[in-house]
Amino acid sequence: MSETFVIGGKKVSLGPLLGKGGEGAVYNAAGNPDIAVKIYNDGKAPERREKIMAMVSAGLSRTSDHVAFPLEVVNRQNGKFAGFTMKKVAGFKTVHDLYGPGSRRVEFPTADVRFLVRAAYNLSSAIASIHRSGCVVGDINHSGILVSTQALVTLIDSDSFQFRNGGQTFRSLVGVAEYTPAELQGVSFEKTDRTANHDAFGLAVLLFQLLFLGRHPYAGRYLGGGDMDIKTAIAQRRFAYSDRRTETQMEPPPHVTALNDYGDEVKNAFERAFSRSTETGGRPSAVDWVGIIDRLQSNLITCEIDRSHHYHKFKGRCPWCKLEAGIGRSLFTAQLVTPTPSSMANIGQVIAHIGRMNSPPPPPNAENIMPPVRDLKVSAAARSKRSSRGINMTGALIAAAVGAFVTFAVQPVIGLVLAIGALIYFFNVKNEINPFAAELKLSTAAWHQQRALWEKHAGPEHFDERKAHFLKLAANHGALPQRERERLEELDRKKRDLQMRKHMESHLLDRAKVPSIGPGRKATLASYGIETAWDAKSRRITNIPGFGPAMQEKLRAWSKSVEYKFVFNANIPTDPQAIRDVKTDIAKQRAELERDLLKAPGELQRIFDDAAKLRATPPAGLVEAHRRMKQAELDSGRTI
């Protein structure tokens, strides 16, 4: 740009163009590599003049290192307002390039789970600093947030922030629906004051996308029937990952991390952020998130198989390994833990030892090892019932005798009726259902259940099940070299397919222009793992909300257009990355198998020892079930 501008009373020329948008363009400042200059389009400059001058006058640039606030006003030589200077943000990329697994492989290839968490912490700190300056972001979304290769975060487009100067409020006039809370959906931003609580919603969405692989928290399957787009789901408060499933009527897409994978504190914070009750205030603030994520960082542990995986220390096993196994691909650049020479040398001996381990002997008859129950007595309830039954039967016999006497000595008809009625009552009482039969049935069933459980763990059954499991793992371990050879040979045979896949994976949907597929639909597709032209070609799209036949065809047409541009080169050797992927996958399988196999002898020995203890000393639950059954037998009249 050849025009000269005036900054701080000095004439300044502009350097190369850095970027261009709907409001204007950003240039390097000639002679100052640390400063960028934003020049508004002619129609935008007048309406922005007063706000930018107020922001410069307030010294906002001194309030936060995380924001490219206006530094100085830029005028044209005729004195008309043109724009402002700001610190140049170099070496940063959009936050979307980080949280999207497809773009992350290209733009942040070394980023791991801990890197994502650190970026989430820095993003929260950045928003907190903006709120401390007296500003509200307002239009909070992924496009205005940049991340460095050290997970540092900077916000740009600060001239769109809501800013109060004295008694005047300069509002944020725009917003992206996918980051706008329900209470602001459909309102006029020109007439609405935004609050930090509104920002808290957009921040929570961005944090969710960072921690949950680019998934949008409101993208999921609507259980009520029909499609549910993200904007409508937000308006109707349908957080797809919530435990309040009966309320939201939503379930998350397949193959995603669980809401509690980062611990209960993070889970509960997201529930609050997306709850109806916090719309008027009470969503976790940026400062709250700083503390929550800081504590999360201190609770992360490293996966013992893949060092790129980090997870909450209270989780039993690495959720990332399980997720990657489910989707069949790595979500991060694997950093496998190198096995020690001793563990590699011992694995064969360990497998042989497992095979030699003997099963526990069969358990004795459970009845024979139960403590004696000779001290049992008929319960008070049973004695009372038996006494009442005896009295009733005796009374009935006496009545029958009286009836017989009356029949023969006084009045035959009356006596006969009395005798017959008394006998019927006698036999009814004699044959009535034992009132303790139900308890006997329940207690006998409980005894059989406890006995079966005891027999399984006191004898060879449980031991043999686990031993068979470990021997199967050993067989899988032994088959790994052959499996690796077969997969590498398959790569060589499918060289063209690999080149095609690599070509199509380099075309990201987020950067493409596809008719009728805007940011909202792209966010939905990303939440279902559709990020590249290859994903659109190779994955099912039929069950994604908002993608009926017409939309599916548009997506397929874009994918085909990318495919048509592919040119196969037979001279290019097999893709080294594909070879590394195979070797990494086999190495990960080997590490997982060896981890379990190395623990197997100890587990089997514990099972063997526990079986011996159970045979020698029956557990309290088994003894109590036996005693309860015997008491029920006694009360019901059966012999113990």
- Strand, coil or helix: what is 235? helix
Only one residue has tokens 């791991």, namely 112
pLDDT at residue number 433:
47
Q: Is residue 158 part of a domain?
A: yes
Residues 221 and 239 in one domain: yes
Q: Is residue 459 part of a domain?
A: no
Number of domains in the chain: 2
Residues 67 and 121 in one domain: no
Residue 256 has a CB neighbour count (10 Å cut-off) of 21
Pairing relationship of beta strands 310-312 and 300-302 according to DSSP bridges = antiparallel
pLDDT at residue number 231:
93
Q: Which domain holds residue 279?
A: 91-327
Where is the domain boundary, 288, 312, 327?
A: 327
Residues 275 and 176 in one domain: yes
Q: Is residue 70 part of a domain?
A: yes
Residues 84 and 139 in one domain: no
Domain CATH code at residue 300: 1.10.510.10
Where is the domain boundary, 270, 297, 327?
A: 327
Residues 171 and 156 in one domain: yes
Burial tier of 199 (Cβ tally within 10 Å: 0-12, 13-18, 19+): buried
Residues 62 and 96 in one domain: no
Q: Is residue 333 part of a domain?
A: no
**CB hemisphere CA count around 446 (13 angstroms):** 17
Where is the domain boundary, 36, 59, 90?
A: 90
Residues 20 and 57 in one domain: yes
Q: Is residue 105 part of a domain?
A: yes
Residues 34 and 77 in one domain: yes
Element (H, E) at 169: strand 168-170
Burial tier of 86 (Cβ tally within 10 Å: 0-12, 13-18, 19+): buried
Is residue 329 within 8 A of residue 104, CB to CB? The reply is: no
Residues 203 and 234 in one domain: yes
pLDDT at residue number 472:
96
Mean pLDDT of the chain: 88
Residues 71 and 117 in one domain: no
pLDDT at residue number 492:
85
Q: Is residue 626 part of a domain?
A: no
pLDDT at residue number 396:
52
Residues 218 and 117 in one domain: yes
| Residue 202, CA distances (Å) to 157, 345, 529 in order | 16, 53, 22
10-residue stretch averages of pLDDT, the chain, 640 residues long: 83 89 88 91 90 95 94 93 93 93 91 97 97 94 93 94 91 93 93 95 97 94 88 94 92 90 96 88 95 97 92 91 86 76 70 93 92 80 58 58 65 64 54 66 92 94 96 94 92 89 92 91 91 91 87 94 93 85 88 90 95 93 91 72
Is residue 240 within 8 A of residue 212, CB to CB? The reply is: no
What whole-number distance in Å separates Cα of residue 336 and Cα of residue 104?
19
Residue type at position 136: V
What whole-number distance in Å separates Cα of residue 418 and Cα of residue 628?
43
Q: DSSP string spanning 556-609?
A: HHHHHHHHHT----TTSPSPHHHHHHHHHHHHHHHHHHHHHHHHHHHHHHHHHH
Domain CATH code at residue 45: 3.30.200.20
CA dihedral sign of residues 547, 553, 558, 559: positive
